[in-house]
Amino acid sequence: MAILWVLMALLMMSFVLLPTLRRRRGMIEQVTPDHPDAADPADYGFVRQEDLDVRMPGPDQDLLDVLDLVQRTQDYRAAAQLLAGTESEGELRWQRVQAFAGAAALELRQRPGGVHETPGGQWLRVWRAEQPKDAGGAAVHAEFLVQQAWRTSTPGTDDFRIIMEEASEACAQAALLAPGDPVPHIVELSVARGLGWSQPEFEKLWLRILDRAPAHMGAHLAALHYWCEKWHGSRELAYSFAEAAAARAPQGSLLAAMPLFAVFEHLPEVNLVSSFYQSEVVTRAIHGALHAVHAARPDDPVQAHVRHLLFFFLVRAERWSEAMNQLIHVDGHVGALPWILSADPAAEFALHRALAVAGYEANGGSPATLLS
């Protein structure tokens, strides 16, 4: 079970945000509470800081149960069964592929193996050997290679390129096994970014994804990071991409929240003062994200990611009541942006939660009014 405590890092990889983590490590620590100890979040029934679940942004008990079983028994079959029963068109399969791949990668990192020791993640190698035509196992293997490249080598080096090229071949094999599944192509977005694909090459891949899953939020977030990195963090290109995605978002899609992620991606490039979070560009992005979560299905697996980021921006903008309304939906789980950029995600979330409660009560709020 110990490895599950770092599952939040795996789910972060579901949005292919490792470069963001590297660029903005420490950014969130700039926040300081204006009203320390002014109010007690426990009065609202919120989870104690030490009990906050850093593994994921929201609950997926089936995934946690299967991961526990696979890692305890080193038998891949429960993972294969779970993925086989997860629809390919939605976000959930994508996130579960990331989680299984990340679990195998972390096992290998903890137990690299040796003369008398079996390397960690052996269950994934057995999965691929015993079921080479299983589409789920092929997708997990492709993502495993991508994560290995980012975790164990430096972009631009020979080692990095070799692993990424192997991942590209694995993506192609996975796509052949499941022609309608967007996941292998979404995995390949990380390959495109890592190998520095040209714009025409990338756009061909992007069209394949749009043909299969035009409203896939995880795919759009991965593509956003390609545009950011390809042109050295171009804010204009990133905003343009995010706003175009939001504009064509179908009813009930969380793509309307894309501009908020684009704003967050470029926070280091702006003046981090309180007035920025009340500026027109941030206000417009917040409103788009609020509309997205209100219109989305309650069980949309990406909704928790959007709500966590919304909560962060609403606290920074001192929109206390709205922040509290988001908080009641996400409290208890903190494996999401922006908390996972901190060395202590639970503490960072708890700090913002305390600020939200203090600001809410300073403006006349109370547990009774929030819950009424």
What is the token pair recorded at 182?
């967007």
Please enumerate in sequence order all residues whose Cβ is within 8 A of that of 61, keeping only pairs 6 or more positions apart, or say none.
Answer: none
Cα angle vertex 305, ends 304, 311, to 5°?
Answer: 85
- Could you give the 3-state DSSP secondary structure of residue 117? strand
- The answer to whether the CB of 259 falls within 8 A of the CB of 220 is no
Domain boundary assignment for the chain:
25-53+215-372, 61-213
For the range 245-253, what are the long-range contacts, defined as Cβ-Cβ under 8 Å and sequence gap of 24 or more? 245/220, 246/288, 249/215, 249/292, 250/215, 251/295, 252/295, 252/296, 252/297, 253/215, 253/217, 253/292, 253/295, 253/296
What is the token pair recorded at 299?
């069980």
CA gap 210, 327 in Å, rounded: 33
- Entry pTM: 0.84
Question: How many CB atoms are closer than 10 A to CB 125?
Answer: 16
- The answer to whether the CB of 355 falls within 8 A of the CB of 41 is no
What is the per-residue pLDDT across 46-99, written as a single tens digit (0 to 9) for each? 999 999 988 788 888 999 899 999 999 999 999 999 999 999 878 899 989 988
- The answer to whether the CB of 282 falls within 8 A of the CB of 317 is yes
| DSSP states of 202-265 | HHHHHHHHHHH-TT-HHHHHHHHHHHHHHTTS-HHHHHHHHHHHHHTPPTT-GGGGHHHHHHHH
CATH fit for domain 61-213, picks 1.10.8, 3.40.50, 1.10.3470, 1.25.40: 1.25.40
The dihedral through the CA atoms of 152, 158, 163, 168 has a sign that is positive
Which pLDDT score, from 0 to 100, does residue 118 have?
78
For the range 197-206, what are the long-range contacts, defined as Cβ-Cβ under 8 Å and sequence gap of 24 or more? 199/230, 202/226, 202/230
Which pLDDT score, from 0 to 100, does residue 372 have?
63
What is the per-residue pLDDT across 92-145, written as a single tens digit (0 to 9) for each? 999 899 889 988 988 998 888 666 677 888 999 999 999 999 999 999 999 999
Ranges of the chain whose pLDDT falls below 70: 1-39, 113-116, 230-234, 268-274, 371-372
Supply the angle between the helices 345-362 and 320-330 in degrees, to the nearest 10: 140
Residue 49: C-alpha distances to residues 11, 27, 37, 340, 352 (Å): 20, 21, 14, 15, 12
Please enumerate in sequence order all residues whose Cβ is within 8 A of that of 27, keeping only pairs 6 or more positions apart, or say none.
Answer: 267, 268, 338, 341
CA gap 223, 266 in Å, rounded: 15
